[in-house]
A and B are shown apart, each in its own frame.
Chain A
């Protein structure tokens, strides 16, 4: 795998993560992350939309005049979201009942227009699709992490209703983390999403700083060894 693709993967999942680093797309994030499974469903739907939109825009990028690119992007994104909505309603009906209200809202996720505009409209199809996939998976990761923490704290379960989304073979994923938990309502409500997101963002900052300090220490250490050897 070449350097460009490696960078796309690292950017999408961590360095330039839509939620953790860019802090965009928070409207659907806070609305659906009451449980981990809802987060997963929303994340996967968003990923599908991002991959298709990025690929389409990248394919037609030479045909799209810069003056009217935004209306064209909006039309294309709205179409793909509506398609996903219809297909989910027909074939993932149980999940659609839970997420139904939020699927059309994917259209308002500025992350999609952002990636199409900033990346896909300037890059070849393969890279643009990869970027869509990785940015989408990074978004999914954020949704699942936030959903899981809120679910554990809010109702004491993890991956409840997983079989609705993934089929009956995944029913084993549904675990009760805290037995006879009375529930912590704040975490199940949207304000809990804001609070938890704050903690997670802070945690990521700390982790990044540690990693940076360590890599600095390593390079300083290496420089010393080289000096000694020299």
Chain B
């Protein structure tokens, strides 16, 4: 491009800019114009999305790290450290199963001691809670006996159903050591239904859902045992 062309272009650009700036001298008139109203709304949306995009990239790493810390903390509680020497979050297998609403993916953390698999831990969703699903983290040894269960997320009634949290009561520990072989399927129920597990005063639905959830979790492990332990 010749220098004359460039100069002309520059002049054109600066005249455009001046015109644009002059528009802002009379804000009262500008605000009345329909096209200006469109542009300013678009500008607000553009600036907002830009800022959100930047913030997303700035916080993404930190949020991911926090989430992993959360998972690690629950994993520590459901799987005793003496039974593994690997980092659980780095040793995962994904199991896909067809479900009513499509395909269900479960991330399973594999525990190894000196290379040999000692057990697994995974997040499992117990349906049938009083208000929404209850998310469980379950740890079990390679024979399918529960090493520990913790409730990761739930929306049960505070003061009634939230006794399933470890911080509120010891109830969740009653699953430790249970397996499908040492507890028959009629016993995988709350006491009110003729099973082995306590219900809470005023709340039966929540413990019933958790008991059923843990049992389903053990069955899930049994179904995929070969695949997980190979």
Contacts and interface: CB of A to CB of B under 8 A. Distances in A.
Interface of A: 34, 62-68, 71-72, 75-76, 78-79, 82-83, 86-87, 89-91, 93, 97, 154-155, 183, 185, 188-189
B157 A82 contact: no
B48 A79 contact: yes
8 tightest Cβ-Cβ pairs between the two chains A and B: A90-B62, A79-B48, A90-B59, A65-B31, A93-B66, A185-B159, A86-B59, A72-B44
A182 B129 CA distance: 24
Contact of B52 (A63, A82, A91, A155): A82
Contacts of B116: none
A86 B32 contact: no
Nearest to B40: A63
B17 interface: no
Interface residues of B, number: 24
A68 B37 contact: yes
A89 B59 contact: yes
B156 to A, nearest CB: 12
B50 to A, nearest CB: 10
A71 B41 contact: yes
A34 B158 contact: yes
A86 B54 CA distance: 11
Contacts of B32: 65
B187 interface: no
B66 to A, nearest CB: 4
A78 B52 CA distance: 10
A64 B36 CA distance: 10
B40 A64 contact: yes
B37 A67 contact: yes
Nearest to A67: B37
Contacts of A78: 48
Interface in B51-72: 51-52, 55-56, 59, 62-63, 66, 69-70
A83 B37 contact: no
B83 interface: no
Contacts of A66: 31
B45 A65 contact: no
B102 to A, nearest CB: 25
Interface in B30-49: 31-32, 36-37, 40-41, 44-45, 48
Contact of B158 (A63, A71, A188): A188
